[in-house]
């Protein structure tokens, strides 16, 4: 729109100490994209676009000219409009430190403590802690943990990140290794009784090497901005674009005049509400008002009535004000403040808390907003103003419901909020339950308040409010009115529950699902409040009101995780090993420092090239339909759109034999790509994509495993294994049980979304393809096929990948085809970087699983016969489903020798996005299934679970069901070490004692063994190539066919080259993985990517070393550089290719025999948890992992892989839930709806122990592949929770032969702890309503 008859102001701010002047600032432009595209600062990453992952974190520094203070805070740049930055100083990761200039201690410690793996999330981690340290030079550990609430990491498991930042804390945490009195940071060699004569080392980094913190080296706040702030206090700022005008008034009077003139104009402070709609290109506001510079709206004052908080104060400020104020006031006055503070500690992440304003939180009235119920219950008052004057209204249920007589007028604004003091006879509590403890929207929240007649328990006033039930916060007003005058007793509680359930109704089809759980939380919260009040009455009047019983006391309090601490123990290198030889040492990740400084370049960080176009795709909105027509005419009219690409534009093959790159005649899932729009900018491409019109003819979809079985819809033939005589086994069994397991899928949620950049060359139709992939050869093959070219014309390049976990094996090839076809059609470079929601919509994940079992066993717990039927939901194409179901069949025995066994596997074909490879590749499903059977047998026999496991574990030299021989010695070694290291039996007794004393909270403990097979069941998957060059100055360049995904493959390659060539690591460099240097590489996966490429690098280095033999013999005391110079003079080639043919593996499904895997590795994990039976919340108390890593080439990398995989497994088994609508559309498309583990989810004590004196003759240097094995051990948390649930059920007299669905979310935990509250809620009969989401497993 027009710029209000006034020229747009210059936008002035600083970035990393440098002044930025934007003369045509666009109010719709967000800081993240401005930094990356305009300022070329690519260290700040795009991770989600909704402020949920922290990858885009920057630090904002602002100056308040009124109080003359500088404030630093973290912010999500993906939500920040650049126009909000006028007068601010922005610091990005590049400004914190760089390799070129100076590395900051924050960056150095994170890298040296191995706190980065793929490195994509690392700049955000650095910035969150940097902002904290600028405000608190010596923060507490609680502040450090809180600062990381809003940052997600999919690789590390968080422990090394916390360790690296613990060194900044004012109180140093110390793990105190059990029985030694030493700390893992001491770097002392510790004797180990079970490994006499072996040196065991603890800790993976040396704090003595850390750079000291020097605050004087940080950027000062620019004095120019201080002057600007003073000079522009009375100036209105206006920034305009073609369709939006941003106005920042300087006075309340002016704001009210503007609001009167533009009543529909939103007030934006942190943009944490409006900013979430950024993905909708059509959503915009002609006028945006930015009231952050108005003093009256920033006020904080203590009055006789309470605390007045300005509407533009952010939630982090509110928290800090409450922390400071509460101790200064009489306790009876602070009840509402304590309730608010409790909610603020878990609400969102620190970045959002630092951006979102109190006024915005109140006025947006989101159903899941945690503060509104408690502000309402506490009788808070809104101070309003308009051009017509001032008034006050209560922030009550009528306001929250939007009733006209109680609402804000369009011309009014909230100036401040009065939060009143509580009184002596008043009790206020706040509750919430979310899918994750922190940084997650509430499923249900509540604010409750009761006021008694002085000195009595007679109700004078009562407020009960709930969020997460309706479209906004709901009040049980009628229920409260009926309860006034009643005594606070059990009879009142019973009636209150009944009244609330009648008044607050939730329809069975409610958005968000979990209907019965949400209903249960209504009365569960009410019960907890009832007990809190009783407890408070006793404390006030101990002689009048009796103390709660111990059972009821256990219902009080919420579970809160403490500060995590870790221990890592591993075998040290031989004392005689050369100090120069890096193998076996915890060497820092080759790119660790670059990760921490933001200088590590990912695909979308590559600078724009000349005439580059952006691409956006149009995807199917139908699960199964014919395409009747595609109309692109309107899309081509959008300014900036260059062309639309469809299947007709593919010169060669449109995909492969199994899957189309562009849907042509039919769509087979929601999210299938139909066409692509290429434009000058991504925004233009997205606008164009929205204009493409597609007409469908619906076909019947198959969505669930149940549907697939009914329709006989399978991707492959049944896979079957048999061992022994199953019928005879069942006949001889003492008992037979049958059951089933349902298990949901899992999103990869790699932090770097799929990205590809295709650059056509000037001649011979050559193309450079820069792609984030695990399988460059497949990219090359599919692109060449699509363009009808030979593969030698397609050059694929991958420097590093920002996480993959199996999700970037197959799909990146199709994304590359789409971009390459677009580049071929337009003749211009094309960039295709998927936004998070599109990545999650289009790509599949881990296969949902359904298993049915029939198990025959003896009274002593020995299983003698088992019949397993396993089904996976493969989605719409074959992808990796055939291999996954084969692996499930091959691996389902885990650590157990079942003499008579039959396993049948089916990969179901459905109209969902194709599921694909994922870390563990079928074993996480298979392992959970067989462990469920073990638990069922233990339950039936009444025997301890660990005893039933021991009865059935393989012993000595044995054979699998497919006749592969292995030795179970290390399986038992890991098992026994885990029992010992975890102090299992003693802690189990303590768990039982705790459970006897606590009715509403229960602990559980479980120990799980593991036999994990590494690699693939065909030899050719294990081949690898390498190319090693030695240059005349003695430097070495190593290339190989493996791809860096965060697993440290390049670091280990450099270690191996260093050993083989006997030169320092500093001499060796790795550039990139490219099809031009090492052709035909297999995909980097299956835990063997490192070791097979290591063999190829070793081969090349040994060839070179052998060539140098004559030179060395002639000059044995010469320097490396001398040998190389002489070799060149002697015409000796200083370049060699290395090759590894691969491990010999095979599997014959006709004979049911084979040597399916190169080798096995073993492990065990013991986990202890505590659950809240009222809400279903749980916390992970402690985990001990013992792993048979044989000789670790790099203990830091291997332990990092174990920890990261374990936490990812915890996510699969307890947190991560994917929802699909009844029409087949995925509903979980970002971190706001899909929750991976965060810092709050790791065990408080996290111990990893690598078994010493273990050998593996198969792999290089007797190592083993650690990439996936730790994943399944996350199931120890699942079974520990099950143990806790069983304790609750036993006490309630409920059956113990129950089956739990994975993931074991708060909902499922709560509903399994069946009690009076779950019984009183209304139940809905399946089939009588349309559910919000369906169970696809």
Give bridge partners of residue 1334 from the DSSP assignment.
1220
Q: CA-to-CA distance for 1056 and 345, rounded, in angstroms? A: 47
Q: What is the enclosing helix (H) or strand (E) of 871?
A: strand 863-873
Whether 1203 is catalytic: no
**Residues 6 or more apart in contact with residue 658 via CB below 8 angstroms:** 877, 878, 879
Q: CA-to-CA distance for 1335 and 1302, rounded, in angstroms? A: 12
Q: CA-to-CA distance for 306 and 1123, rounded, in angstroms? A: 81
Could you tell me if 427 and 434 are in contact, meaning their C-beta atoms sit under 8 angstroms apart?
A: no
- CA-based radius of gyration for the chain: 31
Q: What is the enclosing helix (H) or strand (E) of 189?
A: strand 189-190
DSSP for 446-467, please give it.
EEEEEEESTTS-BEEEEEEEEE
Residue 359's SS3 state is: helix
**Residues 6 or more apart in contact with residue 1326 via CB below 8 angstroms:** none
Q: Where do the DSSP E strands lie in 244-286? A: 245-248
To the nearest 10°, report the CA torsion of 319, 323, 324, 326: 120
Give the residue among 1169, 1046, 1226, 1240 at the shortest CA–CA distance from 152. 1240
Q: How many CB atoms lie within 10 A of CB 372?
A: 28
**Residues 6 or more apart in contact with residue 942 via CB below 8 angstroms:** none
Residue 344's SS3 state is: helix
The number of CA neighbours under 13 Å toward the Cβ of 295 is 9
**Buried residues in 124-141 as b, exposed as e (16+ CB within 10 A):** bbbbbbbbbbbbeeebeb
Could you tell me if 336 and 314 are in contact, meaning their C-beta atoms sit under 8 angstroms apart?
A: no
Three-class HEC string of 477-506: HHHHHHHCCCECCHHHHHHHHHHHHHHCCC
Give the residue among 635, 642, 449, 607 at the shortest CA–CA distance from 532. 449
Give the residue among 881, 706, 751 at the shortest CA–CA distance from 1208. 751
Give the residue among 561, 398, 565, 548 at the shortest CA–CA distance from 488. 548
Could you tell me if 807 and 845 are in contact, meaning their C-beta atoms sit under 8 angstroms apart?
A: yes
- Secondary structure of the chain: what % helix, strand, coil (to 5)? 35, 25, 45
Q: CA-to-CA distance for 1089 and 1317, rounded, in angstroms? A: 52
Could you tell me if 330 and 440 are in contact, meaning their C-beta atoms sit under 8 angstroms apart?
A: no
Q: 218, 1170, 1225, 1268: which is the annotated catalytic residue?
A: 1268
Q: CA-to-CA distance for 67 and 221, rounded, in angstroms? A: 16
Residue 1179 Cα distances to 349, 563, 910, 1164, 1237, angstroms? 19, 12, 36, 20, 12
**Buried residues in 878-901 as b, exposed as e (16+ CB within 10 A):** bbbbbbbbbbbbbbbbbbbbbbbb
Q: Which burial class, exposed, middle or buried, applies to 1191 when counting CB atoms under 10 A from its CB (0-12, 13-18, 19+)?
A: buried
Token pair of 919 as six digits: 């870390």
Active site residues: 1268
């Amino acid at each position: 729109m027009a710029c209000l008859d006034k020229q747009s102001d210059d936008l002035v701010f600083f970035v990393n100490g440098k002044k930025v002047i934007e003369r045509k600032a666009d109010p719709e432009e967000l800081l993240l994209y401005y930094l990356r595209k305009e300022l070329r600062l690519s260290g700040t990453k795009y991770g989600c676009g909704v402020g949920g992952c922290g990858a885009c974190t920057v630090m904002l520094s602002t100056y308040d000219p009124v109080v003359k203070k500088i404030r630093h805070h973290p912010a999500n740049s993906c939500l920040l409009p650049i126009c909000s930055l006028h007068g601010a100083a922005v610091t990005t990761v590049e400004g914190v430190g760089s390799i070129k200039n100076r590395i900051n201690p924050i960056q150095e410690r994170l890298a040296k403590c191995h706190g980065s793996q793929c490195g994509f999330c690392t700049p955000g981690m650095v910035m969150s802690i940097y902002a904290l340290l600028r405000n608190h030079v010596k923060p507490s550990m609680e502040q450090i943990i809180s600062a990381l609430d809003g940052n997600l990491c999919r690789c590390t498991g968080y422990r090394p990140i916390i360790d690296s930042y613990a060194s900044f804390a004012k109180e140093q945490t110390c793990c105190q290794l059990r029985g030694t009195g030493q700390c893992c940071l001491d770097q002392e060699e510790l004797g180990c009784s079970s490994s006499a004569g072996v040196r065991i080392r603890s800790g993976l980094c040396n704090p003595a090497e850390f750079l000291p913190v020097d605050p004087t080296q940080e950027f000062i706040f620019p004095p120019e901005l201080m002057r600007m702030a003073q000079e522009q206090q009375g100036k209105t700022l206006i920034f305009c674009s073609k369709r939006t005008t941003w106005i920042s008034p300087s006075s309340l009077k002016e704001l009210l005049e503007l609001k009167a003139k533009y009543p529909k104009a939103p007030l934006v402070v942190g943009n944490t509400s409006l900013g979430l709609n950024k993905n909708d290109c059509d959503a915009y506001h002609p006028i945006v008002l930015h009231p952050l510079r108005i003093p009256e709206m920033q006020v904080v004052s203590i009055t006789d009535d309470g605390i007045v908080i300005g509407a533009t104060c952010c939630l982090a400020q509110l928290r800090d004000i409450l922390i400071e104020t509460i101790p200064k006031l009489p306790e009876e006055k602070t009840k509402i403040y304590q309730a608010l503070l409790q909610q603020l500690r878990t609400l969102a992440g620190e970045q959002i808390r630092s951006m979102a304003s109190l006024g915005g939180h109140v006025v947006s009235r989101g159903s899941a907003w945690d503060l509104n119920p408690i502000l309402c219950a506490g009788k808070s008052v809104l101070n309003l103003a308009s051009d017509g004057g001032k008034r006050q209204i209560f922030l009550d249920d009528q306001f929250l419901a939007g009733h006209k007589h109680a609402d804000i007028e369009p011309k009014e604004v909230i100036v401040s909020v009065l939060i009143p003091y509580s009184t002596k006879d008043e009790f206020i509590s706040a509750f919430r339950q979310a899918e994750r403890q922190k940084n997650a929207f509430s499923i249900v929240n509540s604010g409750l308040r009761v006021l008694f007649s002085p000195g009595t328990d007679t109700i004078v006033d009562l407020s009960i409010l709930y969020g997460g039930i309706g479209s906004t916060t709901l009040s049980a007003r009628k229920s409260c009115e009926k309860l006034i005058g009643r005594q606070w007793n059990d009879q009142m509680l019973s009636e209150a529950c009944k009244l609330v359930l009648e008044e607050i109704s939730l329809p069975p089809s409610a958005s968000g699902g979990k209907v019965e759980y949400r209903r249960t939380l209504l009365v569960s919260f009410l019960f907890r409040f009832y007990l809190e009040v009783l407890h408070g009455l006793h404390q006030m009047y101990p002689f009048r009101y009796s103390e709660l019983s111990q059972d009821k006391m256990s219902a009080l309090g919420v579970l809160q995780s403490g500060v995590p601490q870790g221990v890592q123990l591993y075998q040290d290198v031989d004392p005689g090993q050369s100090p120069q030889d890096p193998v076996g040492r915890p060497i820092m990740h080759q790119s660790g420092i670059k990760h921490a400084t933001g200088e590590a370049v990912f695909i979308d960080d590559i600078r724009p090239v000349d005439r580059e176009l952006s691409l956006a795709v149009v995807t199917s909105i139908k699960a199964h339909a014919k395409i009747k027509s595609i109309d692109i005419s309107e899309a081509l009219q959008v300014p900036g759109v260059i062309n639309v690409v469809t299947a007709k534009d593919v010169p060669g093959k449109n995909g492969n034999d199994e899957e189309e790159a562009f849907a042509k005649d039919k769509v087979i899932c929601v999210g299938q790509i139909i066409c692509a729009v290429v434009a000058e900018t991504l925004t233009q491409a997205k606008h164009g994509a929205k204009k493409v019109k597609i007409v469908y003819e619906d076909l019947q979809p198959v969505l669930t495993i149940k549907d697939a079985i009914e329709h006989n819809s399978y991707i492959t033939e049944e896979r079957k294994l048999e061992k022994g005589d199953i019928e005879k086994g069942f006949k001889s069994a003492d008992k037979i049980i049958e059951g089933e397991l349902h298990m949901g899928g899992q999103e990869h949620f790699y932090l770097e979304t799929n990205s590809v950049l295709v650059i056509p060359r000037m001649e011979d139709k050559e193309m450079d393809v820069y792609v984030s992939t695990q399988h460059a050869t497949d990219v090359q093959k599919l692109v060449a096929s699509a363009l009808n070219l030979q593969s030698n014309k397609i050059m694929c390049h991958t420097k590093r990948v920002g996480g993959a976990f199996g999700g970037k094996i197959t799909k990146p090839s199709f994304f590359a085809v789409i971009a390459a076809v677009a580049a071929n059609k337009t003749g211009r470079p094309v960039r295709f970087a998927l936004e998070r929601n599109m990545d999650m919509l289009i790509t599949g994940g881990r296969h949902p699983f359904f298993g049915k079992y029939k198990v025959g066993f003896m009274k002593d717990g020995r299983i003698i016969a088992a019949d397993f039927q396993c089904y996976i939901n493969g989605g719409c194409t074959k992808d990796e489903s055939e291999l996954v179901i084969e692996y499930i069949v091959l691996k389902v025995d885990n650590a157990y020798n079942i003499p008579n066994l039959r396993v049948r596997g089916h990969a179901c074909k459905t109209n969902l996005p194709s599921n694909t490879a994922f870390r563990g590749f079928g074993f996480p499903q298979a392992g959970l299934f067989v462990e469920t059977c073990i638990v069922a047998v233990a339950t039936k026999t009444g025997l301890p679970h660990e005893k039933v496991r021991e009865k059935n574990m393989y012993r000595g030299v044995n054979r699998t069901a497919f006749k592969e021989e292995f030795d179970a010695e290390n399986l038992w070694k890991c098992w026994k070490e885990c029992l010992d290291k975890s102090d299992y039996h003693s802690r189990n007794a303590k768990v039982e004692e705790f459970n006897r004393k606590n009715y509403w909270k229960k602990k559980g403990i479980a120990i799980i063994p593991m036999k994990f097979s590494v690699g693939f069941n065909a030899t050719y998957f294990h081949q690898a190539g390498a190319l090693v060059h030695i240059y005349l100055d003695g430097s070495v360049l190593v290339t190989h066919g493996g791809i860096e995904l965060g697993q440290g493959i390049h670091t280990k390659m450099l270690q191996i080259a260093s050993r083989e060539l006997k030169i320092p690591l500093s001499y060796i460099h790795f550039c990139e993985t490219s099809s031009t240097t090492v052709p035909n590489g297999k995909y980097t996966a299956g835990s063997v990517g490192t070791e097979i490429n290591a063999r190829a690098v070793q081969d090349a280095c040994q060839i070179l070393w052998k060539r140098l033999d004559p030179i060395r013999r002639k000059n044995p005391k010469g320097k490396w550089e001398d040998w190389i110079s002489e070799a060149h003079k002697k015409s000796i080639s200083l370049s060699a290719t290395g090759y590894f043919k691969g491990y010999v593996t095979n599997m014959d499904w006709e004979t049911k025999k084979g040597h399916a895997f190169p080798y096995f590795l073993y492990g065990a994990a013991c986990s202890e948890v505590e659950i809240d039976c009222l809400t279903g919340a749980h916390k992970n108390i402690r985990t001990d992992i013992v792993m048979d890593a044989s000789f670790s080439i790099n203990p830091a990398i291997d332990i990092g892989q174990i920890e990261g995989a374990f936490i990812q497994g915890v996510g699969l088994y307890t947190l991560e839930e994917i929802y699909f609508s009844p029409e087949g559309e995925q509903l979980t498309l970002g971190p706001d709806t899909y929750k991976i583990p965060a810092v709050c989810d790791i065990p408080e004590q996290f111990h990893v122990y690598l078994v010493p004196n273990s050998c593996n003759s198969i792999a290089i240097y007797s190592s083993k592949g650690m990439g996936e094995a730790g994943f399944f051990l996350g199931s120890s948390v699942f079974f520990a929770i099950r143990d806790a649930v069983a304790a609750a059920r036993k006490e309630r007299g409920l059956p113990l032969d129950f089956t739990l669905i994975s993931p074991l979310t708060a909902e499922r935990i709560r509903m399994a702890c069946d009690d009076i509250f779950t019984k009183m809620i209304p139940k809905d009969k399946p089939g009588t309503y349309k559910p919000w989401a369906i169970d696809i497993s």
